[in-house]
Amino acid sequence: MNTVTGAMGLMTIDQREEAILAPYATKSRESLGREFPEKEHHYRGPFQRDRDRILHSAAYRRLSGKMQVFTGDQGDYHRTRLTHTQEVASIARTLGRALRLNEDLIEALALFHDIGHPPYGHAGEDALQECLKNHGGFSHNQFGLTLARELENPYPDFPGLNLTREVLAGQDHRAHKDSPIVPSLEVQLVDAADSMTYDAHDTDDAVKLAFVTLDDLSELSLTGRLLRDIQQKFTSADPRTLRRNLAHDLIELQVTNLLETTTARLEQTDFSSSAGVQEARFRLVISEQLRREKSELEEFLYDRVYRHEELIRVRSDAQHRLKMLFLHFCAQHQSLPERNEQRVQTIGRPRAVGEYLASMTDRYCDQRFDEVTAAGD
Ligand code: MG
């Protein structure tokens, strides 16, 4: 149990959570703990410590050099994997505070959720999956767990970050989407915030980078409705004002919808614990209309943005670089940095090479490719 005592007579973590959180929230004192037991911290709760461990990890810092949808060559203003993660954490905390869920757990889950992404986003993931298809495959969600359990090593006493089972369960849920286990509301909420965030910011970035126009978006149900409202409010709004307000209103509408829909449903229940929510298989949902409108927007983004010829080219170039580097490092023994060579002993060369490549930023991947191909000339 969490016996953290309040410094200088302030509230303990347990007292604070008891006073603020809803009965259905995950409480620190109910945590199932860590794989390697540790003494509790005297003023930070377990999920606060997890949040800090993730924030201070090398894998988290590398997110600044990993693309979300658009690459560093395409400008300086669009989202990176890091700023996406920060937006998810911010929106998830807003939702969590309104629903009186555990914000510390939510923030830890949000900062962690994309930590296993390889260079070049889903293109990189698909390339590594192909390289490793006969060696267990590759998924960024599973790699997030490997980073947290084995590869990050800030502590001398145990491998990994030794996160609580609640944070690892959240990532495990992402890695095993077909699992019958219904996760905690905090885990579900971060998933919902992820979707709200990328729908809003991918739309915003795609207009700013001229992949699509506001006129295109006015033909879709959700963005069309919001654009008409904005034009009514600001009758002489220029395109930049329209775009910025659209991104804002897309988030506002989705957050409000989830809060209203969920509050109405939670009022009909009398959950007394987080476990009760999971046993009852309660799921956070948005309204049916918004779900349909989001699907329409996501299909549009897929066809017009993610599969745009410019991104297809980025995708195939990145996949070529990763596959070529994979073959190179598999063939050349002792070619990896020392700690990656050590992993060969436990997981075999192909997977150790996969981990090395997955840990790279986009820029470092390009740099290694240039070095390896120059040396081969
Ligand atoms: Mg994400």
Q: What is the mean pLDDT of residues 54-71?
A: 93
Q: What is the pLDDT of residues 152-192, one digit of tens each?
A: 999 999 999 999 999 999 999 988 888 888 999 999 999 99
Q: 95 vs 105, 255, 276, 372, CA distance in Å? A: 13, 7, 20, 47
- Radius of gyration from C-alpha coordinates of the chain: 22
Residue 337 Cα to ligand 1 middle (Å): 29
> Which residues have C-beta within 8 Å of that of residue 96, sequence separation ≥ 6?
102, 103, 106, 186, 189
Distance in Å, CA 117 to ligand 1 centroid: 9
| Average pLDDT, integer, range 91-106 | 98
Q: What is the pLDDT of residue 133?
A: 97
CA of 289 to the centre of ligand 1 (A): 23
> Ligand 1 centroid to 345 CA: how many Å?
32
The residues spanned by each domain of the chain are 6-376
DSSP secondary structure string, 253-306?
HHHHHHHHHHHHHHTT----SHHHHHHTT------HHHHHHHHHHHHHHIIIII
Residue 9: count other Cβ atoms within 10 Å of its Cβ: 6
- 150: pLDDT strictly greater than 80: yes
Please, which residues have CB less than 5 A from ligand 1, an ion?
114, 194
pLDDT tens-digit readout, 273-323 = 999 999 999 999 999 999 999 999 999 999 999 999 989 999 999 999 999
> pLDDT tier at 78 (50, 70, 90 boundaries)?
confident
Q: Report how far apart, in Å, the C-alpha atoms of 155 and of each of 4, 22, 57, 144 are.
A: 22, 34, 11, 18
Q: What's this model's pTM, rounded to 2 decimal places? A: 0.95
pLDDT of residue 2: 52
**Percent of the chain's residues with pLDDT above 70:** 97
Of 40-44, 252-256, 356-360, the one with minimum mean pLDDT is 40-44
* Least confident residue range of 64-73, 127-136, 313-322: 64-73
Say if domain 6-376 classifies as CATH 1.10.3210.10.
yes
Rounded CA-CA distance 93/110 in Å is 9
115 Cα–ligand 1 center, Å? 9
User: Could you tell me if 299 and 223 are in contact, meaning their C-beta atoms sit under 8 angstroms apart?
Assistant: no
